[in-house]
Amino acid sequence: NAGVTQTPKFRVLKTGQSMTLLCAQDMNHEYMYWYRQDPGMGLRLIHYSVGEGTTAKGEVPDGYNVSRLKKQNFLLGLESAAPSQTSVYFCAHKESLAQETQYFGPGTRLLVL
């Protein structure tokens, strides 16, 4: 599983509800990423982190927040879910800036009704 787990695997939300997706890696890597995958659109970067205590916006950050309080965990929050956030969410990590290969989790499928 590339040293990364994602929780939950699947979730159904109603519009306006909130939830947190958890990504946990056991490889002591510095960089972590949250992507969303939608049909025919590849992967789009939501937020990322270059180390414990840091976060930064990616390509599509609106409606999401993140935190990296511990090096091994990267949390993605949806404060008020919208149907447009129905997607598959992937977490990824990599060792450093120089080590460019990313390791992906198995994904979380989210359906917002």
Return residues touching another protein (CB under 8 A): 2, 31, 33, 40-43, 45, 48, 50, 56, 58, 90, 92, 94, 97-98, 100-107
CB of 24 to another protein, least distance (A): 14
Number of residues that this document lists for the chain:
113
CB of residue 113 to another protein, shortest distance in Å: 22
Beta bridge partners of 23: 6, 74
**Residue spans of beta strands (DSSP E) within 1-113:** 4-7, 10-13, 19-25, 31-37, 43-49, 56-57, 65-67, 73-78, 87-94, 103-104, 108-112
Q: Which is nearer to another protein, 41 or 69 (CB)?
A: 41
What are 16's two structure tokens? 């306006």
Q: Which is nearer to another protein, 69 or 98 (CB)?
A: 98
| Among candidate residues 102, 108, 70, the one with its CA nearest the CA of residue 89 | 108
Nearest residue (CB) to another protein, 17 versus 103: 103
- In the complex with another protein, the residue whose CB is nearer, 85 or 102, is 102
Among 48, 52, 58, 46, which Cα is nearest to 30's?
52
